[in-house]
Every structure is written in structure tokens, then in C-alpha cells.
Amino acid sequence: MFNNRLRETRISQGFTQEKLSENVGIGLRNYQYYEQGKHVPSFEILIKLANELNISIDYLVGRDDFVKPTITD
């Protein structure tokens, strides 16, 4: 579920895999493994992905079915 939501959200927001991986500070190959479901990100990277995509971690990991923007100060 995480990999599908990550991919769908990335595409809907117009990010390429390369740009999103660069923005969160990880290698492209590692990012691709997340979308393929081969690897799971660390908690730190999960937070960075959610922040960059402006969505909740709960949505990304399947605990919530509604895309909610994160609250920024």
C-alpha cells in the first residue's frame, strides 16, 4: 500500500522520481525501491517524504484513506 500511495501522490503532484528523491536527500535508486515495494524508508525519510508531498504519514502508510495536507507553521 505504501509504495502505491507514494507513487500516486508523487505523480499527482508532478514530481519525477529524480526530483523527489533529490528534495528529500536520498539516492534515486533507493527511492525507486520504495515505489517498487522492495525497501521501506526509515522513519526520518518517511517524515521527509510526507513533508515534501504535503500529506500525512498516516495516509502514506495506509492508516487513513483521506489525503490531508500537513499543517505547517
- pLDDT-derived band at 72 (thresholds 50, 70, 90) equals low
Exposure of 55 by Cβ count < 10 A (0-12 exposed, 13-18 middle, 19+ buried)? buried
Give the CA distances from residue 41 to residues 19, 44, 65, 73, in Å, rounded to whole numbers and listed in that order.
17, 8, 20, 25
**In the prediction, which pLDDT does 63 show?**
82
Domain ranges of the chain: 2-61
22-50 per-position pLDDT tens digit:
999 999 999 999 999 999 999 999 999 99
Q: What's the whole-model pTM score?
A: 0.83
CATH match for 2-61 among 1.10.260.40, 3.30.1180.20, 1.10.357.10, 3.30.70.120:
1.10.260.40
More confident residue, 49 or 1: 49
- Grid look-up 507513487 returns 7
